[in-house]
């Protein structure tokens, strides 16, 4: 009676297809569209900003809390040299001691020094070229939170509390382009907060 099995399996598959095709999710992107002209596409369409992940991959990496450890940067910048020359972190990462975020220096900022310094260096030429084109250097962020973490971090209070940059970003004096030396997950934050007897109230960071 083999054919019967196959018949039933076929029927089942048919039902699934029907279920998937019949109705698509109601529209959120564009209120003026009619109920019948709804399609899943709007969740991916570029004309719309949504909190959904851009791809299944990013969803998975986000779920597993996985980050590239040493992303390639457009310029082979070296923290090592700059720090060795006596620069402080906050000289370039302006705002780190004033507010939540530290700025990643832009091309204009680099050129303030590199107008003069080490202009023959090919990497610096690249920077100069960016500046000439009036383009910003597309730096790749190394330390960032996934939106789904719904977490807000503020640098300033940590710096005021005397937390060393290195304790969260690793020893930059040994790095060229930044590496994700520390996996900044919640466990890491909580551990430090507990050691220092700082509040671990959820809403301190999550809101």
Partner 1 sequence: MSHKWAMVVDLDRCTGCEACVVACHAENNIPTVGEDQAARGRAMHWIRVERSWEGDFPNPQIRFQPVLCQQCDDAPCEPVCPTYASYHTSEGLNGQVYNRCIGTRFCANACPYNVRFFNFYNPTWDLPLNLQLNPDVSVRSVGIMEKCTFCVQRIKSAEIQAEAEHREMKDGDFTTACAQSCASKALVFGDLDDPDSEVSRLQSSNRATKLLGELGTKPNVSYLERGTWQDATSG
Partner 2 sequence: MERRNFIKISALTGMLATLDACGRPDQELIRFVPEEDLIPGIATWKPSVCTLCSAGCGLLVRVMEGDAEVVRHGQRGLMQMGLAKKLEGNPRSPINQGKLCARGHAGLQVLYNPDRITHPIRRTGARGSGEYQAIGWDDALKELSTHLTALQSAKATNSLSFLTRPLSGQRRELIERFLKVFGAPPAVWYEPFDEAVLRQANFLSFGHGALPTFDLGRADYVLSFGADFLGTWNSPVAQSVGYGEMRQGRSGRRAKFVQVEARMSQTGANCDEWIACRPGTEGLLALGIAHVILSNKLAPQGAAFRAGSLIAGWSAGLPESTPEAVENQTGVNAAVITRIAHEITKSGSGTAIIGGAPLAHTNGLFNALAVNALEALVDRGRDQGPILGFTPDPAIGDAGQPAVSAPTGLAGLNSLAQSALGGQPNAPQVLFLYEANPIFSAPPGTKIREALARIPYIVSFGNFIDETSAQADLILPDHAPLESWLDSIGESGSLQSVVNLAPPAVAPLHDTRAMPDVLLGLASQLGGDVAKALPWTTFDALLRAAYVPLRARGGSIDPKTDDDFWTALQAQGIWSSTPGTASAAGSRSAAGASSPAAARRAPTAPAAPEFAGNADDFPFHFLPYVSQSFGDGSLANLPWLQELPDVLTTAMWSSWVEINPSTGARLGIQPGDLVEIGSQQGRVRAAAVLSPGIAPDVVAMPVGQGHDNFGRFASGRGANPLSILATLAERETGSLAWAATRVKIVRIGAPEQATLTLFSEGRSGFPHEEESR
Partner 3 sequence: MQPAAERIEKDLLWPIFHTSVKYWIAVGVAGCLVLAGVAAFGYQLYAGIGVWGINEPVLWGFDITNFVFWIGISHAGTLISAILRLCNATWRRPVTRCAEAITVFAILIGGIIPLCHIGRPWLAFWMIPYPNQRFIWPNFRSPLAWDFFAITTYLTGSAVFLYLPTIPDFASVRDAATGIRKRIYRVLALGWQGTPRQWQRLEIAMHIMAIAIVPVAVSVHTIVSWDFSMTLVPMWHSSIFGPYFVVGAIFSGIAALMLAMALLRKFLHLEEYLKPVHFDNLGKLLLTMSLLWFYFTFAERLTTWYGNTPSEMNVFWSSIRQQFAPLFWIMVFCNFLIPVPILAVKRFRTITGTAIASCTIVVGMWLERFLIIVPALDHKFLPYSWGHYRPTWVEDTLMAASFGAMALLYLLFTKFVPMISIWEMKVGLQPHGGIPVSTPEGERHGLVLEGPLPLDEMR
Q: How far apart are CA 103 and CA 105, in angstroms?
A: 6
Least distance between partner 1 and beta carbon 103 (Å) = 14
Of 5 and 141, nearer to partner 1 (C-beta) is 141
Map residues 34-53 to x or -, x wherever contact with partner 3 holds by CB under 8 A: ------x--x----------
95 binds, among partner 1, partner 2, partner 3, none (CB under 5 to 8 A by kind): partner 2
Backbone angles phi, psi at 151, to 5 degrees: -115, 140
Q: How far apart are CA 2 and CA 12, in angstroms?
A: 16
Which of residues 10, 106, 157, 187 is near partner 1 by CB under 8 A?
A: 157
27 binds, among partner 3, partner 1, partner 2, none (CB under 5 to 8 A by kind): partner 1
Which of residues 4, 37, 160, 197 is near partner 1 by CB under 8 A?
A: 160
Q: How far apart are CA 26 and CA 11, in angstroms?
A: 27
Site for partner 1 in 4-23 (CB under 8 A): none
How many Å is the maximal CA-CA distance in the chain?
A: 86
- The residue among 152, 185, 148, 143 whose CA lies nearest residue 53 is 148
69 contacts partner 2 (rule: CB under 8 A): yes
Sequence-distant (6+) residues with CB within 8 A of 75 are: 123, 126, 127, 137
40 binds, among partner 3, partner 1, partner 2, none (CB under 5 to 8 A by kind): partner 3
| 33: helix, strand or coil | coil
44 contacts partner 2 (rule: CB under 8 A): no
64 contacts partner 3 (rule: CB under 8 A): no
**CA end-to-end span of the chain:** 61
Binding site for partner 1 (CB under 8 A): 25-32, 35, 42-43, 46-52, 147-152, 154, 156-157, 160, 199, 201-204, 206-207
């Amino acid at each position: 009676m083999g054919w019967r099995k196959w018949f039933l399996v076929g029927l089942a598959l048919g039902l699934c297809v029907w279920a998937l095709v019949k109705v698509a999710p109601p529209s959120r992107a564009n209120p003026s569209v009619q109920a019948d002209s709804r399609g899943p596409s709007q969740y991916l369409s570029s004309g719309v900003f949504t909190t959904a992940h851009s791809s299944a991959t990013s969803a998975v990496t986000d779920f597993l809390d996985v980050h590239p450890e040493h992303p390639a940067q457009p310029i082979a910048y070296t923290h090592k040299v700059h720090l060795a020359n006596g620069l402080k972190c906050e000289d370039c990462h302006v705002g780190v001691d004033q507010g939540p975020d530290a700025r990643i220096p832009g091309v204009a900022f680099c050129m303030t020094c590199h107008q003069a310094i080490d202009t023959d260096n090919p990497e610096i030429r690249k920077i100069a070229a960016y500046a000439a084109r009036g383009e910003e250097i597309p730096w790749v962020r190394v330390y960032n939170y996934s939106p789904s973490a719904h977490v807000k971090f503020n640098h300033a209070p940590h710096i005021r509390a005397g937390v060393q940059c290195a304790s969260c970003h690793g020893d930059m004096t040994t790095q060229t382009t930044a590496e994700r030396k520390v996996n900044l997950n919640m466990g890491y934050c909580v551990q430090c907060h507990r050691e220092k007897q700082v509040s671990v109230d959820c809403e301190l960071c999550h809101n």
